[in-house]
Structure 1
Amino acid sequence: MTDSAQEPQSRRVDTRGAVDLSALAPSPAQAAPQGAGAPPAGSSADSWAVAVQPQQLQQVVELSSQAPVIVLIFGADAASATMKTTLEDLVDAQQGRILLAEIDASAHPELAQSADQVPVATAFIGGRPVGEFDSSVPSEQLGQLVTQMVQMATQNGMTQKLPPQSTRAAQGAEGSEAPAEPELPPLHQEAQDALEAGDYAKAAAAYERAIKEKPDDEDAKIGLAQVKLLRRTAGVDIAQTRQLGADQPDDVQAQIAVADVDILGGHVEDGLSRLVRFIQTHFGEDREAARAHLVELYSIVGDSDPRVSSSRKQLARALF
């Protein structure tokens, strides 16, 4: 799964406007029981995790044009079981704002061999990968990644909620409920509400107040960087921006503008590499402007993303 994934060719929508997932069958363990054996009310919870086959991957990627999707390739090992359960809890807490598509590598040996490691998860928004992570990522950071995906989707106009795709056995004591969606800090919620209303200025102001109150609030810093990206790219003619970047390779602002639309469109490697190449061949204030902007883009993509790690190494070589 790379940035070269094809753009979606079609968008399947049901009569309610939600993504049509009818062709993606839930796993037997997650499928809602039927008949006399159905569990009593309260013993199962709605879930947005669905088992898929490798041949359905393109359809899953297409669905991410309307709702963010995490594709998890898992095995039979303990790390896979832990990551699978953690992601299911986090996704279900979002109550339909994001989908988890699960592929069992143990049932598809050829898939396990092609993957660098299992478990591994890739996040898709708008038909393109926006991040990849494995079991080395702590649970709390996985929660931040899921939240950031939902925020990014909202910023791109994906505000619909998907219907439940399966059911899961309730955890804990009898009658316990599915984990509640984590409550955002007040200023973060204010920023999120402003984003949903398309008010980027108000969202930025809320994040700035959050940072002023708590200078080490990394989530607010990332949120502010994302809002700034949206403000810079709002109403931009992408074709014209790319043409200007091609015509003016020595203009730092032209290169920054193309990098912005690359990141927003999911072309992460292209956007980061463009600025690294500029830094390699330019000096002075322009070089520093490109470097500072590149670091800001790193925060938007996420330090856990391997493309950021790779770009940081390239940047270090370019600078030193």
Structure 2
Amino acid sequence: MSQQPFSRPGAIDLSGLRQPANTPAPGAGAPAGGAPAGSAGGAAPGGAYSVTITEQNFQEVLEASRTAPVVLVFHSPQQSPESSQMARDVETVVAEHEGRFLAGDVDIDAVPGIAQAMQIPQVPLMLVLLDGRPATQPIPGPAPIEDIRALFAQLVQQLTAQGIAGRHAPRGAAPVAEGEEPQADPRYAAAQDALGEGNIDLAVAEYQKLVDANPADTEASAGLAMAKVLQRTQGVDLNAARQAAAEAPDDIDAQTMVADLDMLGGHVEDAFGRLTELVRRTAGNERDKARTHLLGLFAAVGNDDPRVIRGRQNLASALF
């Protein structure tokens, strides 16, 4: 499998789903009994980050791609049993990324209308969706699981480079009862305890361990980003930092320091705006340094925060 760069082509045409459910897609067999596999929103056998696609839940799965990528795998147990093996392998690899992706199992024998609407030419076929749109070219198979792992590693690198750090919630996770406190995740205990004790350097080290172990862990990435803000601003005089930034509007270090201080003061949009304008005014290594710092602040706030969404739009405008 070759590397598939992320892009933003047009939205998916779902007009084909208005046909009766038993209308076969080109090259697809009719579903047994005419019933779609799975239930709306139900988890597929692959685990907490997989879902069996039906005509009832397809739109909901597309919407889920606004949080983090959704990987659809089209296969046909009737026509190509080996294509279903690829679907299972993708579910296995997706589970290893703990929410960085959601696997959508599309059995075209059960839901031919979806295959027809998506104009699927063959099985197995993998399609990565982001923001409700195809984010790569269709990726044909079959492929061994080692190649699938390598492809997902490339996709994670591209997501990270673009500052896209969203993560899907586990499917079928037990809800928290009303009035009950959500259970703390013990993975973050050491870092959070260090923050509570004011040991910022230790907190950074603990969060870094988590990120190194699992780059797809967005909670750890956000914690690390904010801990680094705290680390960079320790002992800094706010007034002196603001004066230095006012006297040197294109000084990267001075401007990023004030952006960090704005973050700590709750002035998130001011921090984003300052660095976005810095990106707009600078070039080369300085521009890249300002952009990278801004992406770190996006990670600290959270990928689905409306201020981050606006900030990404403004950054794109400043870059292009």
Fold conserved between structures, TM > 0.5: no
Q: Could you tell me the TM-score, scaled by structure 2's length? A: 0.44
Q: Could you tell me the TM-score, scaled by structure 1's length? A: 0.44
Q: Which of 1 and 2 has greater Rg?
A: 2
